[in-house]
Amino acid sequence: MVALGVRLQLPGSRFLSLKTLKALSMSLLLTHAATGMVPAAVARSHQQTKAEDAEALANKHSIGDDVPIEVWRDVSVTPWAVLLCIHGLSLHAKSYESFGRAMSHLGLPTYAMDVRGFGSWQNAQGVGRLDFADTFSDIKNSLLAIRRVNPGLPLVIVGESMGGAIALQATAANPDLIDGLICSVPSRRNNGQKTTNLKAALGLLYSPNGEISVSDKVIKKATQDSTVADEWERDPMTRKSFTPRELLQFRNLMNTSRAKAELINKTPVLFLQGGSDKLIKPTGTVELFNHLKTPDKDLVMVGTAQHLILERGQFGEEKIIKDDVISLVTNWIDKHVANPENVAEDKENAENSGNAGNARVSANSMETNADITRQARGHYKIAEGSMLLNDPEMAKDHLLTVIRMARGTAIAQKADQMLLTLPEPLIAPPINETKHGNAQLVSISAAKANDKPSVLIFCAPWIESCKTILDELRTALGENEDKVNVVYIDADKRENEALLEEYGVKPLPAVLYLNSKNQVLLYTLASPSLAVWQSRVRQLLDAEAKLKAQEK
């Protein structure tokens, strides 16, 4: 039995204070001690630590026990990681409600806290102003308490916009407490920033205690959805105006992120940027991303998403965006945080599954075709982010993963099309190489002749151009059809995987032109025009004639 206090008995969400969270952590430690249910790793780390010591540690740097924390936890699902979310400017902890509920149902208990000066803090006498120093102390105390409530589980901190900058800086300050960082649009480069800075500077001179509205700079640019904007405006917990000192404090926070990013040298990091963001410039996100020193980092452009990707009504505004984000976040945490050592093993299991439709075991559940397709979308978005970073090599790897995982789906077709746009040296099959083994089997067994040149067509039935490619080649061959072996190779069939690997085939369709010695002389990618077909056939036959002449 797990202690009732630990499971929280939450049908969806529950408001807790940090003091309550600490009490739950004590209940968890005492329950584990009484029942012997402490996981091995946790038992080793706590065998010298008394419950009183844990409480003292949580209180050591405490600046108050009433930090407002929202919790979403599905007690019917076994947890495998835990999230702490930090909200954006003007918002509050409950802005993560849709995201938190979705994550909790997938085994990711989600906590969200109010930043000082926002949400519940606005009604707290004497502490209602913006205070990032105390916020960072709140975060550290919350991390300690959450870890004790969820012993042995990896902890990922999530932040969006201002919350992304806070999460990034908290990770730099507490690398031993945070196992992964997810930042959505944490950049300081926003449209209208100079105007807001000028207002803050003038306000500091002429009206230091007056408040400046940021509604037109934040809400109206963060979303083009009038319903979301109206809900945001009417939410009594939304904060829409700040003193000049608070705005300058906010500016200083955002300006500090670049230096803090350089301190993150080992924590896995995922950056998100909305493709339709009107508030934050993508170049700013890329610039900040490049300052991260950790080798394990990914930047993903999220399709048509606007400024808010994880919060408010924007999360789930379009079901496809919601599904993509859920898939991306859970898959990334699974691979980079929860089970980083199993990436190679997972790939091998997938390759041995027979086809993309077979289920495979992930962190906590059996993946269906829909699960695999969602994960493939996540890889596709990482590829888009890689292109933004001018890293086509990484994009190629993720696009090939999409095709391998989701053959026959729309996302696989998109991945194949994007592959064809990469620099040719990255996707071209090697030429002027003599193939033996499998290649010889193709020309003898499939083509029934080994004294003629061959044209190998690598295709798949789900690619539209593959449906007519054989007829197009025969038209191009004309009266030369009997002079060439034509071999169609279905890239989806398991028995042809070795051929794709040996010939270095990446995007489809790929057409290879071999002489009678099985030497690859030429290639074409995508579906060639009739003129290109005819040119390649002439080149192949001319090369074969020269080869025969040399043999004589």
Share of the chain above pLDDT 90, in %: 42
| Helix or strand holding residue 301 (H, E) | strand 297-302
Q: Are residues 493 and 387 in the same domain?
A: no
DSSP structure class, residue 127? -
Q: How many domains does the chain have?
A: 3
Burial zone of 215 (CB within 10 Å; 0-12 exposed, 13-18 middle, 19+ buried):
middle
| Helix or strand holding residue 157 (H, E) | strand 155-160
Nearest-5° angle of CA 185, CA 121, CA 7? 80
In this prediction, residue 311 carries a pLDDT of 75
Measuring CA to CA, which residue among 513, 523, 512 is closest to residue 547? 513
Distance CA 329, CA 343 (A): 16
In this prediction, residue 140 carries a pLDDT of 96
Helix (H, G, I), strand (E, B) or coil at 444: helix
Burial zone of 295 (CB within 10 Å; 0-12 exposed, 13-18 middle, 19+ buried):
exposed
CATH number of the domain encompassing residue 445 = 3.40.30.10
CATH number of the domain encompassing residue 162 = 3.40.50.1820
Measuring CA to CA, which residue among 118, 160, 152 is closest to residue 135? 118
Q: Are residues 399 and 308 in the same domain?
A: no
Distance CA 476, CA 527 (A): 13
296-304: average pLDDT: 80
Q: Are residues 262 and 390 in the same domain?
A: no
For residues 227 and 200, the model is more confident at 227
Residue 245 is assigned to a structural domain of this protein: no
Residue 207 is assigned to a structural domain of this protein: no
Residue 270 is assigned to a structural domain of this protein: yes
342-352: average pLDDT: 44
- 135-146 residue pLDDT tens: 999 999 999 999
- Provide the token pair at 239: 């904060």
Distance CA 510, CA 506 (A): 8
Residue 223 is assigned to a structural domain of this protein: no
CB 186 within 8 A of CB 271: yes
- 205-249 residue pLDDT tens: 445 566 877 766 665 665 666 666 677 677 888 888 888 888 889
Q: Are residues 42 and 103 in the same domain?
A: yes
Q: Are residues 330 and 454 in the same domain?
A: no
Quick one: residue 526, left, alpha or beta (phi over 0 = left, psi -120 to 50 = alpha)? Answer: left
Question: pTM to 2 decimals?
Answer: 0.62
Range with lowest mean pLDDT among 73-77, 184-188, 193-197: 193-197
Distance CA 289, CA 299 (A): 7
Residue 231 is assigned to a structural domain of this protein: no
Query: Which of 336, 362, 390 is the last residue before a domain boundary?
Result: 336
Average pLDDT, the chain: 76
DSSP structure class, residue 443? I
Query: Which of 392, 407, 427 is the last residue before a domain boundary?
Result: 427
Instruction: Collect all residues with Cβ–Cβ distance below 8 Å to 98 and sequence separation of at least 6.
Output: 313, 315, 316
Handedness of CA 524, 530, 535, 538 (dihedral sign): positive
CB 434 within 8 A of CB 514: no
Distance CA 486, CA 453 (A): 9
Distance CA 332, CA 268 (A): 9
Range with lowest mean pLDDT among 61-65, 139-143, 154-158, 238-242: 61-65
Q: Are residues 382 and 483 in the same domain?
A: no
Q: Are residues 408 and 482 in the same domain?
A: no
In this prediction, residue 307 carries a pLDDT of 53
Residue 235 is assigned to a structural domain of this protein: no
Residue 225 is assigned to a structural domain of this protein: no
Distance CA 143, CA 292 (A): 22
Query: Which of 427, 447, 478 is the last residue before a domain boundary?
Result: 427
30-55: average pLDDT: 33
23-27: average pLDDT: 50
Q: Are residues 153 and 176 in the same domain?
A: yes
Q: Are residues 481 and 505 in the same domain?
A: yes
Distance CA 331, CA 343 (A): 11
Domain that holds residue 377: 339-427
Asked whether residue 45 carries a pLDDT value surpassing 90, the answer given is no
Q: How confident is the model at residue 54 (pLDDT cuts 50, 70, 90)?
A: very low
Q: Are residues 306 and 379 in the same domain?
A: no
Asked whether residue 328 carries a pLDDT value surpassing 90, the answer given is no
Most confident of 1-10, 263-272, 303-312, 447-456: 263-272
Q: Are residues 90 and 184 in the same domain?
A: yes
- 99-130 residue pLDDT tens: 999 899 999 999 999 999 999 888 776 566 88
Kindly provide the residue ranges of all beta strands, DSSP E only, lying in 332-475, ordered along the sequence.
454-459
Q: Are residues 147 and 30 in the same domain?
A: yes
Residue 75 is assigned to a structural domain of this protein: yes
